[in-house]
Amino acid sequence: MNIILLGPPGAGKGTQARLLEENFSMKQLSTGDMLRASKNSSSEIGKTVAKVMEKGELVTDEIVIDLISEQLETNLEASGFIFDGFPRTLTQADALGTLLKSKGKSLSIVFEMKVDDEALVKRITGRFNCKVCGEVYHKENNPPKIKNICDACHAKDSFIQRADDNEKSFRTRLMAYYRDTSPLIGYYHAKQKLVPIDGLQDISIMHQSIRKIMNY
């Protein structure tokens, strides 16, 4: 099964993708994570990407389509893909359709994760990650079980906050979502792939709702 998690910044795409990946042999493909990895390299492209991401703007279609194409090629054995944060524009959506078709695959479900803007800002400003394994936390909604220790990889004092997790960048990201990404709701609705899901549910309840729809 190949699914897309579509939603604004902070909707819970990464959190749900990691839960699905943990429980099934599906592969999470997060363009945000891929771009953060390239941003940490000292290449010219890495420097350009870092500036764009910190402002909360979108990286070019060309760069992200190339990243996804590469990942699809190297993970052909996966039983399914979870697209997290991709596609974000109509051009990317068309490219994904073409790429999947060229590999004899197709899209199963697009989950539209619905969360109101005020809840999103609280989630983004309270989020932190483990820099070793990437596990996502929230200071109130989803803290680690033991203070300063990552639940997933047990690293100590490894928590960091993303450079774009501040209110200014968040507002730019939210505008980019409404301007460039929300047209995908109509696009996938017309293809009968869209399933709206309440993103305000608790993390575990949301995971169960997604699994039920996937028949897992």
Q: Which residue ranges make up the site for ligand AP5 (CB under 6 A)? A: 7, 9-15, 31-32, 35, 52-53, 56-59, 64, 85-86, 88, 92, 123, 126-127, 136-138, 141-142, 164, 173, 201-203, 206
Q: In angstroms, rounded to a whole number, what is the distance separating the alpha carbons of residues 3 and 26? A: 10
Catalytic residue flag (residue 18)? no
Catalytic residue flag (residue 88)? yes
Active-site option among 105, 114, 162, 171: 162
Q: Which residue lies nearer to ligand AP5 by CB, 104 or 202? A: 202
Active-site option among 18, 36, 123, 173: 173
Active-site option among 13, 18, 27, 39: 13
CB atoms within 10 A of CB 28: 22
Q: Which residue lies nearer to ligand AP5 by CB, 77 or 163? A: 163
Q: Which residue lies nearer to ligand AP5 by CB, 56 or 78? A: 56
Residue count of the chain, please give it. 216
Q: Which residue lies nearer to ligand AP5 by CB, 194 or 197? A: 197
Catalytic residue flag (residue 162)? yes
CB 124 within 8 A of CB 10: yes
Minimum Å gap between C-beta 128 and ligand AP5 is 7
- Give residue 93's identity as a one-letter amino acid code: A
Active-site option among 27, 88, 101, 171: 88
For the chain, state the CA radius of gyration: 17
136: which 2 tokens? 């996502």
Residue 141 CB-half CA count within 13 A: 20
Catalytic residue flag (residue 127)? yes
User: Among 89, 36, 96, which Cα is nearest to 72's?
Assistant: 96
Minimum Å gap between C-beta 144 and ligand AP5 is 11
Q: In angstroms, rounded to a whole number, what is the distance separating the alpha carbons of residues 152 and 130? A: 9
User: Among 180, 1, 209, 18, which Cα is nearest to 114's?
Assistant: 209
Minimum Å gap between C-beta 64 and ligand AP5 is 4
Which residues are known catalytic residues?
13, 88, 127, 162, 173
